């Protein structure tokens, strides 16, 4: 036999509560994963290595800047 409207409403309420609980847990996990301070506390060595690698990559992308006017006027190497 079919369910009564009260049973259906009860099932909907239970499902809604489970979804709410799951979303709250997901929100907590995402905030923790995105929090660099939390990540640093968990893995300080990995964070230091990541910062060094990031700095090295950034320095190669920026490249050398001319330090004098003579460097600006030098003809290009062909």
For 38-68, the pLDDT digits (tens) are 888 889 999 899 999 999 999 888 876 656 6
Model confidence at 3, pLDDT cuts 50, 70, 90, reads: confident
* CA dihedral for 56, 61, 62, 68, sign (positive or negative): positive
Q: Is position 72 within any domain?
A: no
Overall domain count for the chain: 1
Q: Is position 77 within any domain?
A: no
Q: Is position 76 within any domain?
A: no
Q: Is position 45 within any domain?
A: yes
Model confidence at 9, pLDDT cuts 50, 70, 90, reads: very high
Q: Is position 74 within any domain?
A: no
Q: Are 32 and 38 in contact (CB under 8 A)?
A: yes
Q: Are 60 and 54 in contact (CB under 8 A)?
A: no
Q: Is position 28 within any domain?
A: yes
Question: What is the phi/psi pair of residue 35, to 5°?
Answer: -85, 110
**Residue 1's pLDDT is what?**
58
Query: What residues make up the domain containing 17?
Result: 5-64
**Residue 28's pLDDT is what?**
93
DSSP 52: H
Q: Is position 71 within any domain?
A: no
Cα–Cα distance between 51 and 53 in angstroms, integer? 6
Q: Is position 55 within any domain?
A: yes
**Residue 17's pLDDT is what?**
97
| Neighbour count for residue 69 (Cβ, 10 Å) | 7
Cα–Cα distance between 73 and 66 in angstroms, integer? 10
15 pLDDT above the threshold of 70: yes
Global pTM exceeds 0.75: no
């Amino acid at each position: 036999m079919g369910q009564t409207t009260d049973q259906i409403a009860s099932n909907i309420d239970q499902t809604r509560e489970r979804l709410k609980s799951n979303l709250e847990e997901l929100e907590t996990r995402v905030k923790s994963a995105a929090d660099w301070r939390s990540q640093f506390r968990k893995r300080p060595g990995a964070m230091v290595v990541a910062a060094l690698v990031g700095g090295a990559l950034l320095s190669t992308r920026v490249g050398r800047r001319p330090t004098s006017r003579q460097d600006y006027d030098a003809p290009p190497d062909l």
